Structure 1
Amino acid sequence: MNRFKLLLLSICFFHFSFPKDHSFHSDYGLEWCYFVGHIKAESGNLYGYELSFFRLKFSDGKDWNPEVFPVHFAISDLKQKRHETSQTIKRSLGDLAGYQTNKIYSGEYEFQILSKDQFLIKANPKSKTIALELLLNGNGNILSHGKDGISIKSKRNPNIFSYYYSYPRLVTTGSLWFQGKKETILSGESWMDHEWSEKSSKSIPTLATGESGWDWICLMDNHGGDYVFFRFRASKNSAPEIFGTYRDPKGKVTYWKEGVEIQMDPVGEFWKSNKTKIVYPLHWKIKYPGGEWEVEPIFNEQEFDGSDSTQTIYWEGAVLAKDPNQKKSAKGYLELKGYQKSKDWWEF
């Protein structure tokens, strides 16, 4: 029996259980749960936001070392094209950070799990001008990636995988502060992504290595369809591998593979950050069965410099997309990781 079949046998009995699986998982080494969204204030202003909770711990094969909990937080003013960020990293020691069945927290950031389909997220960084408190209500339609939520990232190396689900179209209300001004959020849609991997490892989790990179995008179209496209690179010199998930308005889920099914390519000129000098491909063309997406950022300056927490510098921002064939439009978020030249992110 080959290694791939052995791997599948070892993980095929996993099934999600909610709301339990919304929280962190103590016996895995690498995990993240994050929220992004397009939201509208009572004033008419439009915002995008990112709130990402991370968890990492190492194992010597017998015992786990103390966990660390970075958080990344950003708000984009989509009309004025302004972007502000904040971040932290706390250890589980002294109850500065941690998780329970109904809560994840780190410093001034908190994710409350009110039920399977309702969440409260809070971000109130000290000495910063951005903050938020948002209530997120789901429709019960959680989206798993891969069979039983097992998302294989690489056909070349099936050991690179995660347990992965998304919760699209979370109805969003609450409050937001941007540059010190409070805004009442009346409407909007958020997207939750949750992944965990590496059951037990003496080494750095595979997905966290400084050599790996990916281009990830979530889209919610105006006809009720939900999409995730993922372009993974195991190292800077590796050819990318492309995967996709699509749920149609009636709830049918399709998993796409690269080649004849989907293609995901950068188009046009790349954008160079004035702050970090990193060059990013912000415009994309994605071809899928029956249509294609032309994706572009709402504005370019949505880079996140995580040097004070995870040591990663990446681009994550609000995007718009159009499908000229099917005459559809979509809103979403794009994440570009692996374009920096720096040390590995756990070397804080």
Structure 2
Amino acid sequence: MVFSAAVAVVMVVIGATLYHLASSERELSAAVAAAPPQAGRKPVERTAALPPLTLPADDAPHGSAMEWWYYSGILGAEAGQRYAVHMVVFVANGLVKHTVMHAALTDLQTGKRYASQSRTGGTPARSVAYGFDFRQEGWQVTASPSFHVLQAGFDGASIAVDLGVSGPVVAHRAPGSETPGLLDFGQSGISYYYSRPRMPARGSIAIAGKSVPVSGELWFDHQWGEFDVLSLGWNWFALHLDDGSDLMVYELFDMEGRKVMTAGTLSNAQGSQPLEPGQVELVPGRTWTSPKTGIGYVVEWGIKLPSGFLNIKPFFADSEFDSGGTTANIYWEGPVKVGGSREGQGFLELSGYDRLGASQPKRR
């Protein structure tokens, strides 16, 4: 009954979100169409009709149809132990507003994975100037202009991490776009999107009552806007490379499995550069089928770049996250190793495969 109620609420939110998205699309298209034509100039981008990305003000919640704050990465202990951390807050606004938290912790020594989720109506967040403070069932995701805090508990494990706000901010943009921090997905809507790829992190991981100090760098993503998360699926990579650069790549596909877009951003301490068409290609490799859900995922990939070829392999293939009780979807999210022309580590997310059934995204 709890599951059915959660799904019913999610469906109401999705319906309202789609209605809101359609209205916003009409208003935005009308605004762009009303812009006076200028001879010899490129067509006006739809993203240019929206307010520009402004930080740190845009760290805070926006009340858009969909918004999420996302952290992932691998933390290490002094004795050599390593742990993969994934924590995210989703806020969906429609006729019903709800807030969802997902968290997973993987012990990379044993392969033991701990995962949990929670959902509540409304937005249980305290007001923070240029930040946010979500607290739900003992969990916490807090941010201010100077620090972030993550806390989550599982059955037999917990995460407690403080993060510094330093390093570059990457405002992603689509190939050919002149608008930083905004991505146009066509009929699926428009999304603001920026990252802080290397937030210094320090805290503790506790497993079976034993706490271990850990440190490292976590990747932070913030995305929001009037976009439809049900019309597209994606393969998403957030990678720390050993030369100090960071690579974000995403491939979008429709619910027939047809590739829609492949793009990304290569960044370092000196700045960032969007990958242009033809500069990045994803090559699917080994698949893994979940024994619990029967969903098949491409868990090994090759990434073709102008600088070389990267091999992406998961630490553990079993990294499926079943969030049916909170967001009515199932996705794959886990730590990966990078080899090939460069080495490194990071996270891979595979979303939308549950809506394709057990088939894999097809390639044209």
TM-score above 0.5, yes or no: yes
Q: Which amino acid aligns with 1:23?
A: A
Matches within 5 A, 1:54-73: 54-58=90-94, 65-73=95-103
CA positional deviation for 1:179: 4.1
CA positional deviation for 1:79: 1.4
Aligned residue number for residue 38 of structure 1: 74
Task: Please point out which of 35, 53, 58 is paired with 1:21.
Answer: 58
Q: Which amino acid aligns with 2:246?
A: D
Task: Please point out which of 75, 80, 93 is paired with 2:105.
Answer: 75
Task: Please point out which of 168, 173, 184 is paired with 1:141.
Answer: 168
CA distance in 2, matches of 1:184, 1:262: 38
Secondary structure in structure 2 of the residue aligned to 1:141: coil
CA distance in 1, matches of 2:350, 2:314: 12
Matches within 5 A, 1:180-329: 180-185=209-214, 187-198=215-226, 205-206=227-228, 208-209=229-230, 211-248=231-268, 250-258=269-277, 260-267=278-285, 269-324=286-341, 328-329=342-343
Unaligned runs of 5+ in 1: 59-64, 199-204, 344-348
Change beyond 3 A, Cα 1:236–1:130: farther
Aligned residue number for residue 182 of structure 2: 150
Secondary structure in structure 2 of the residue aligned to 1:257: coil
Structure 1 stretch displaced more, 71-80 or 227-236: 227-236
Contact kept? 2:125, 2:134, Cα under 8 Å = yes
CA distance in 1, matches of 2:329, 2:266: 29
CA positional deviation for 1:98: 2.6
CA distance in 2, matches of 1:300, 1:143: 29
Aligned residue number for residue 86 of structure 1: 116
CA positional deviation for 1:284: 0.5
CA distance in 1, matches of 2:190, 2:339: 30
Aligned residue number for residue 112 of structure 1: 142
CA distance in 2, matches of 1:236, 1:82: 34
Change beyond 3 A, Cα 1:180–1:279: farther
CA positional deviation for 1:71: 0.7
CA positional deviation for 1:177: 2.0
Structure with bigger helix share is 2
Unaligned runs of 5+ in 2: 1-31, 35-42, 174-178, 358-364
Q: Give the alignment's TM-score, normalised by structure 2.
A: 0.79
Q: Which amino acid aligns with 1:240?
A: V
CA distance in 2, matches of 1:236, 1:100: 42
Contact kept? 1:306, 1:312, Cα under 8 Å = yes
CA positional deviation for 1:166: 0.5
Secondary structure in structure 2 of the residue aligned to 1:148: coil
Aligned residue number for residue 48 of structure 2: 9
CA positional deviation for 1:108: 2.4
Give the total of aligned pairs: 310
Structure 1 stretch displaced more, 174-183 or 133-142: 174-183
CA distance in 1, matches of 2:187, 2:245: 29
Aligned residue number for residue 346 of structure 1: none
Aligned residue number for residue 62 of structure 1: none
